[in-house]
Amino acid sequence: MTLVRNHRPLLSGNNLMTLLLAFVLISCNAFKVISSDAPDKPVGDKPVVVEDSDKPTTEDNPKSKETEETQEYISVEFFGEQFLVEPHKTEFKVALILPFHYEAETKREQRTSSAMVEYYQGVKMALRDLEVEGLRMKLYVYDNENSDERLKRILDKSVMRHMDVIVGPLSKDHIKMVSDFALKHDIAVISPLTSIDEIETENQRLYSTTPSMQAKAETVANFMANHFEGNKVVIYNDGRSYANRLEPLLVEELKAQKVKVQAVNKDVQWANEVSDENTVIYVASHNPTTVNTTLSSIYQTKKPVTIFGENSWSNFEDNDYKFWNKMNIHLVASDFVDDTTIAVTHFRENFRLVNRRDPSLYAYLGYDQFKFMGDFLMAFGEHFPAYISGREFRYLTSNFSYEFEHGLNQNTNVFILKFNEFELQLAE
């Protein structure tokens, strides 16, 4: 497997040609979307309506005579399991609300726009596959421009009250607005790219696809306890908001695992913290300068260490991977593209044919999330929450494993990746 930038990258690097090409593809692709949002540039002229294929055979519920007399159940196979499912919808309305910034003015808006278009390219690839499988869906696409006022106008549209699922938006405040709206109209909401640690108003039908910090802390603590029993663990806090939130969660989870742990800051003297035995160090920082300086200081001690860090590191410029090999680097990720698999290879080849470029991670995420959504809607319809919770589903780059925590359904899957022989691999 070759080393790829397989993390969720920062929204950087505007590509105007990509944006223009995407809108050309949107307008001429066989997969059309409908947006009644007249002030925006049209994304398409007709809804995605994928013709129905062979319908599943229905059978009586064998569990009780009373049930047999009152309701027919449908036999469904989903990820190798057989389910008897209540009768459900076969046609669905889905809204995708993201800050596409069709008329981006600032560099920040341009970066966000590029990333959202890449995500949407992945969505279209998922719709192509779902058409073959028999999905019937109308997809409504809206640009909320990362604006409160704009989002309110979208939610005020009469069609929004009849959605089955709303995907998006991006910011936590906007997700809360959509969640509150959806609660009133019994609509499922999927947060596609933003992790949500908790929400004020409990919502049984809100799904956060990006694992929370709590899920990350639990996974890391379990991994360290199982693989580095007896080793000292040091948490380096760079003083920024991300580290300030993550550090106490890590310390609490590690202590619960009976792991000896110590938190340090930028004033740390590494010679005093590492020992002749292997020391496990979590560097909680997304800043390239901080990370490189910290790793260099640790390396100068000439002591054996195992370094844990953020998957964003693999997007840093000019990484010294020989140095990484020596430092026994482990990265913590919410998604992972294993380009050695046949499924990833096929997706990449098909994506190139359609888009004339390689897929970014946002394209993989768009594909996985909409493919999963389409799969469970076809199988379970509006009853899907009862069937997807507590189970794990693997797609190209994402695992979906939802548990209801802190007022919403959290995807608890977190990958631990190990850098070995110039490759990022799933750690055993």
Which residue carries 């949107």 as its tokens? 26
The answer to whether the beta carbons of residues 280 and 232 sit under 8 Å apart is yes
Q: What is the pLDDT of residues 34-84, one digit of tens each?
A: 444 433 443 433 344 333 333 333 344 443 444 444 568 989 999 999 999
The pLDDT mean for the chain works out to: 87
Tell me, which fold does domain 213-333 have in CATH?
Rossmann fold (3.40.50)
Task: Enumerate the domain spans of the chain.
Answer: 16-52+90-210+340-413, 213-333
Structure tokens at 313: 């590191």
Q: Distance between CA 291 and CA 295 in Å, rounded? A: 6
pTM for the model stands at 0.84
Long-range contacts of 312-321 (CB under 8 A, 24+ apart): 312/7, 312/8, 312/9, 312/10, 312/286, 313/7, 314/3, 314/5, 314/6, 314/7, 314/424, 315/5, 315/7, 315/9, 315/10, 316/288, 316/291, 316/292, 317/288, 321/3, 321/419, 321/422
The answer to whether the beta carbons of residues 195 and 211 sit under 8 Å apart is yes
Q: What is the pLDDT of residues 99-157, one digit of tens each?
A: 999 999 999 999 999 999 999 999 999 999 999 999 999 999 999 999 999 999 999 99
**What's residue 14's pLDDT?**
44
The answer to whether the beta carbons of residues 188 and 389 sit under 8 Å apart is no
Q: How distant, in Å, are the alpha carbons of 59, 250, 386 from that of 74?
A: 6, 45, 15
CB atoms within 10 A of CB 5: 16
Could you confirm whether domain 16-52+90-210+340-413 is CATH 3.40.50.2300? yes
The answer to whether the beta carbons of residues 242 and 286 sit under 8 Å apart is yes
**What's residue 36's pLDDT?**
44
Strand pairing category for 72-78 and 81-85: antiparallel
Per-residue pLDDT of the chain (428 residues; tens, 9 = 90+): 434 344 454 444 444 444 444 443 343 333 334 444 433 443 433 344 333 333 333 344 443 444 444 568 989 999 999 999 999 999 999 999 999 999 999 999 999 999 999 999 999 999 999 999 999 999 999 999 999 999 999 999 999 999 999 999 999 999 999 999 999 999 999 999 999 999 999 999 999 999 999 999 999 999 999 999 999 999 999 999 999 999 999 999 999 999 999 999 999 999 999 999 999 999 999 999 999 999 999 999 999 999 999 999 998 988 888 889 889 999 999 999 998 899 999 999 999 999 999 999 999 999 999 999 999 999 999 999 999 999 999 999 999 999 999 999 999 999 999 998 888 999 97
Q: Distance between CA 243 and CA 46 in Å, rounded? A: 46
**What's residue 70's pLDDT?**
52
